Amino acid sequence: MPPRSEEPRRDATGSRRGSSRGTEHREPGVGGISDARAYTPRGRTIREGGGAARTGGGAEQRRTPRSSRSGDPFRPALQVLDGGRTGATRAGRRETAAGGRAGVVRTVSAKPVREPFDDDEEPAPRRRPGPRRPARQAAARRPVRKPRRPPKLADPRRRLRLGTLLVLALFTTIGIRLVFLQTVSTPAYADGGLASRLAVVELPAPRGAIYDRTGAPLAHSVEARYVFADPTLVKNPTATARLLSPLLGIPVSELADRMKPRILPGTTTPSRFVYLARGVEIAKAKQIMALDLAGVGVHRDEKREVPGGDLAANLIGFVSQDMNGLEGLEAKYDDMLEGKAGRKRYEVGQGDLAAPIPGGYSQTTPAQPGSSLELTIDRDLQFKTQRILSDGMARTRGSVGAAVVIEVGTGDVLAQASFPTYNAADPTKVNSPADREDAATSFIVDPGSIHKAITYGAALQEGVITPDTAFPVANTITKGDTTFRDTHPANGQKMSIPGMLAFSSNVGTIEIADKLGPDRLIDYQKRFGLGQPTGEGMPGEAGGRLLPADQWSDSSYGSVPIGHSVDATPLQMAAAYAAIANDGRYVQPHLIRNVIAPDGKKTPGAAPVTRSVLSPANAAALRRMLEAVTTVDGPDGRATGLAAAVPGYRVAGKTGTGLRYDNGKLQPGEVGSFIGMAPAEKPRYVVAVFVWSPGGEGGAVAAPAFREIMGFTLRHYRVPPSATDKSPKFEVFPH
């Protein structure tokens, strides 16, 4: 047999002819000895994977590769190197017939590729060593295995639908829960922890002011600060008090005592708050804050300022440190003057900052400032009246005085002064609480001879007397067990009505009252406003007292007509004379001119009560007769009221000497008084002055004080002097 050539033969197509070992078909780009290890689908060489093998006697026998019995872990990587094609898709291996001739090429089905998930497949059993069988016979005996299908995975669409249902169910559950929380359980959850997160700040409401008739402030509130201490945080009370004392004007010992730790009464809790000072000026409060004292702080406060000090203090009154009215108009109209505090509630963060939470809960109730009062008082006239009264009272000791100025026709009280007075900004500095009382409405006296104008007015109106009436007047008259005398005896002469008024005849007045009778006299006393409070507006105003006719004793027929056994206040008597000046029409005196709302709108005060007491003719006749009191001065005697005459003006009025009772006990001394009107021909103003003095000096003070007060009032309001400086001529003892 000729030797076998190692160079493969080529057929007509240029394909290499395999040697007796077999023929291998190569893909383009794959060939040569360098890639002798061509890879099968399982990553094995042809030799290993069962390619052509040498056989004895020219017969070809397939050899089962050892590596085919188990999975090859390198197969996936080798697939990538091989272009990603598996051995199953390559050209099949061609087996040549025995003897190395080029026969018909047939493709041998490759062994199914083991996938990674086939690792659980049992490896093929190893063959026992023995004689090799021809490849054709081995291939015939080994059954062709079908490639295993990969396990069927779950349908992704089913997974998507299931997941969608689960998500929808979850969101539906959450939505139902949210609706329940927002509608059913909202209040419980919202309020559950709200209290611990809320801060409450009180918004103070300014107290209304008190103005005079011109709009000048008599009392008003200004912003201030209060200084407080937490005794549990104050490290050294004494040292702290030494620093605060010069700024607060409070003794060191008092401040140190306030800052000492103490237990709240009835508890075991230590006190955490104590006032050190109220109404501190803002500038001083800033100085205190600059000291940065442990346990000491300041906060917003309100301070009541009284610009005039004692100006109308007995009238206005004062307030407490908490801005509550305690006396005077401040107490009477406290509900109107005090504002309604507001409140702001808001959520704050935790920690030391405690700052408001932006967008958090916030509720604000605005503060409502108090309304203000506009009084009928004229500040300038009030000041002058107080000054004149106090100057006159300086000549007396332990005395009480009152002065009232009323505008005729309107009933406006233009001035209402009291003595003694006090500084309303510091009401504690008084000798006695009685010094803070308003004497014009609380000073109850026997009016004395000023009451005679009521008796003569009633007699004129009832026709008991006329302006021309005259009759003999004795020096004395006895009623019951009391004898009444005149200070200017007539000695039985015929005396005119103006003469009786000028000399203040007790005997003549009692005789006229006998003709009038007690019932009619009491009726006119009530018409003139006696026996009940005037309702001027002052708190605690005394009403006085009238003696009922059925309680009159025999002496009452003599005492009541001349102003004894009658209790009245200076204001009541001033209002009675204002009725005479107002053509016989009584007008209730009042202090409140307007109520000013916080928005500035003015509401007039309640309309005064009015009623007719005398006819205009009788009122004019009575005024003319009362002029005799300030004008009669001749050989027959001097009138009792000459000291009250106002130069340039005609004045009608009456002097009085009465008694004072305190808690039913007669007090020593006398009450001197004078009430008059001017100009007498057409009165514009009524002035009343009352002075009680233990030494009886009241009469010497009242008339001169009236003259000065009335003179200033007429000039202040620019009232022209009387048309004639001469008053009518009065004949005291007509022939």
Token pair for 243: 């620093």
Report pLDDT for 660.
Answer: 87
Helix (H) or strand (E) holding 575: helix 570-581
Residues 644, 676 contacting (CB under 8 angstroms): yes
Q: Residue 430: which of 440, 438, 422 has the closest Cα? A: 422
The pTM is what?
0.71
Q: Which of 449, 505, 559, 673 is catalytic?
A: 449
Instruction: Tell me the pLDDT band of 9, cut-offs 50, 70 and 90.
Output: very low
Q: Residue 717: which of 727, 725, 705, 709 has the closest Cα? A: 709
Tell me the average pLDDT across 35-47: 48
Question: Can you list the domains of the chain with their CATH numbers?
Answer: 1-60+72-91 (no CATH), 200-375 (3.90.1310.10), 380-423+434-595+608-716 (3.40.710.10)
More confident residue, 678 or 204: 678
Q: Tell me how far apart the alpha carbons of residues 583 and 409 are, in angstroms, rounded to a whole number.
A: 9
More confident residue, 569 or 134: 569
Report pLDDT for 622.
Answer: 97
109: DSSP letter? P
Report pLDDT for 354.
Answer: 61
What is the largest distance, in Å, between two alpha-carbon atoms of the chain?
Answer: 207
Residue 628, pLDDT > 90, answer yes
Tell me the average pLDDT across 322-333: 93
218 CB contacts (<8 Å, ≥6 apart)? 209, 210, 211, 212, 306, 307, 308, 311, 312, 316, 375, 377, 379
Residue 126, pLDDT > 60, answer no
Residue 174: CB atoms within 10 A of its CB come to 10
Residue 626, pLDDT > 50, answer yes
Residue 36, pLDDT > 60, answer no
C-alpha atoms less than 13 angstroms from C-alpha of 469 in its C-beta half-sphere: 19
Could you check whether the bond before residue 679 is cis, i.e. omega within 30 degrees of 0? yes
- Range of 28-42, 104-118, 596-610 with top mean pLDDT: 596-610
362 is catalytic: no
More confident residue, 445 or 190: 445
Tell me the average pLDDT across 495-512: 96
Residues 465, 499 contacting (CB under 8 angstroms): no
Average pLDDT, the chain: 82
More confident residue, 568 or 125: 568
Residue 116, pLDDT > 50, answer no
Q: What is the pLDDT of residues 417-474, one digit of tens each?
A: 999 999 998 898 888 888 899 999 999 999 999 999 999 999 999 999 999 999 999 9
